[in-house]
Amino acid sequence: MFFQIRLQNYKKNRNFANFYSYLCNMLFNTSSIREYLCACPTGQLFVLTDTNTAAHCLPIFADFIGNLPYHLMTLDAGDTNKNINSVQLVWEFLLKNCATRQALLVNLGGGIVTDLGGFAAATYMRGIRFVNIPTTLLAMVDASSGGKTGCNFLGVKNAIGTFTQPLDTLICPSLLKSLPATEWLSGYAEMLKHGLIADKKHWQDLLAWDIHQQDIATLTPLIADSLAIKKQIAEADPYEVGIRKVLNFGHTIGHAIEAAYIHQGLQPYHGYCVLWGMVAEVYLSVVHTGCPREILTQLTHLMVEYYGKPECNCRQREQLMEYMMHDKKNRVTTTSYLQINFTLLRDIGAPIINQELSRAAINEALEYLFSI
Ligand SMILES: NC(=O)c1ccc[n+]([C@@H]2O[C@H](COP(=O)([O-])OP(=O)(O)OC[C@H]3O[C@@H](n4cnc5c(N)ncnc54)[C@H](O)[C@@H]3O)[C@@H](O)[C@H]2O)c1
Ligand SMILES: [Zn+2]
């Protein structure tokens, strides 16, 4: 079952019930997906997967599209491959198969495939159309919509990229059946973030939903709600000059932890790092912006029950501040001093952007996180 989400048709006025019925009205069936992809000129349909989505999701996609011809390229899975070499491989694949500007690239995968494929499409021949079919929970609720594309460069996450909207994002929750438990938790963390920054009901619905069950039927309306929050915010500020920064909640510290893991040669789960980042940033919110302590207690319980603690030794903990200094969201102030920029919460659904805090305050929050 596919939902099609067209940016231009999406109701600006957020109303979850309406949005959900809107998604259901846009339900794709086998023939409509086929019809949709058939609109692409012969020989100009390109599909990008990684090794895992080629094994688990491509057969389902192939069933949907029947005998429609397409060119397939498969990248090695994993964040270490989200680099300019992989982008170059996609450009080569398109060029060697004579892709013109009429070509359509289908990105069938998690956030790495949708980010990287989107970037390759946005830059190939000054831009060709691409459709995202996200296959992880994280990519369904977050990475595959909003228009951010890119890859890592010189160890800096998503250092190179564009803001380019996909032609469409097609959500098929049943693709999640083969997803490992850790990836479910990774996506669930970004959904929790959407609840915290935008909607108490979404937060409560998520807390009530049993992540152990991995029940796709009861998750589907929650995916729709979470995606509605992401899309509404991203559309209000497509180039992240203001309100879109609320989506970075948990990411200032989360990205630093992620960088520390990568530096150790480990492949962290993005959502786990975001969850840990949110714990530290809710702590900062309790101390500095009056956020109710109960939220910190709830989030800390979730962390202990599902995610465990981040593994950073003392030296790496010292380096976290350095990683935060390289965060893309930082601003140079009038004194030319680079300030670490946070989104904090006054309460659930009441985020505040551009909060700059002292090193001592940040260290105190890290101390809380590592002492749990
Ligand atoms: N563009 C944005 O707005 C945005 C937002 C959030 C995150 N991101 C990016 O997204 C990336 C993380 O996304 P992700 O967590 O989806 O990572 P991912 O693409 O690496 O997928 C996680 C793992 O699951 C595997 N997988 C994917 N679908 C599967 C399926 N259905 N069954 C079995 N295995 C499957 C993948 O091969 C991979 O090993 C990061 O690079 C992050 O920077 C981008
Ligand atoms: Zn994220």
Instruction: Give the model confidence (pLDDT) of 194-238 as tens digits.
Output: 999 999 999 999 999 999 899 998 998 899 899 989 989 998 999
pTM greater than 0.85 (yes/no): yes
- Nearest residue to 364 (alpha-carbon basis) of 259, 289, 287, 307: 287
Q: Is the CB of 145 under 6 A from ligand 1?
A: no
226 CB less than 6 Å from ligand 1?
A: no
List the residue whose alpha carbon is closest to atom 25 of ligand 1. 52
Report how many domains make up the chain.
Answer: 2
User: For the segment 244-287, what is each residue's pLDDT rounded down to a tens digit?
Assistant: 999 999 999 999 999 899 888 888 999 999 999 999 999 999 99
* Ligand 1 centre distance from Cα of residue 274 (Å): 14
Burial of 134 (0-12, 13-18, 19+ CB in 10 A): buried
**Do 237 and 170 have their domain in common?**
no
Separation of 274 CA from ligand 2 center, angstroms?
A: 6
Q: What distance in Å separates the CA atoms of residue 153 and residue 173, rounded to the nearest whole number?
A: 31
| Average pLDDT over the chain, rounded to an integer | 87
pLDDT reading at 16 higher than 60: no
178 Cβ inside 6 Å of ligand 1: yes
What is the side-by-side order of every strand in the sheet holding 45-50? Answer: 27-28, 2-5, 168-171, 129-134, 104-109, 45-50, 71-75
Co-location of 138 and 254 in the same domain: no
Q: Is residue 283 part of a domain?
A: yes
Please report how many Cα atoms fall inside a 13 Å half-sphere around the Cα of residue 350, on the Cβ side. 10
Domain housing 360 = 230-371
Say which CATH number the domain at 8 has.
3.40.50.1970
28 neighbors 170 (Cβ within 8 angstroms): yes
Claim to verify: residue 119 and residue 266 sit in the same structural domain: no
Question: Does residue 176 register a pLDDT over 90?
Answer: yes
Query: 92 Cβ partners below 8 Å, 6+ apart?
Result: none
Distance from C-alpha of 205 to C-alpha of 196, rounded to nearest angstrom: 12
For residue 242, tell me if it sits in a domain.
yes
**Digit-coded pLDDT (tens) for 84-114:** 999 999 999 999 999 999 999 999 999 999 9
* 148 ligand 1 Cβ < 6 A: yes
How does residue 18 score in pLDDT terms, banded at 50, 70 and 90? very low
Which residue of 119, 136, 153, 191 sits with most ligand 1 atoms within 8 Å of its CB, as the best mutation to test the pocket? Answer: 136
Work out the number of other CB atoms within 10 angstroms of the CB of residue 186. Answer: 25
Tell me the CATH number at 350. Answer: 1.20.1090.10
Map tokens 């380019």 to a residue. 164
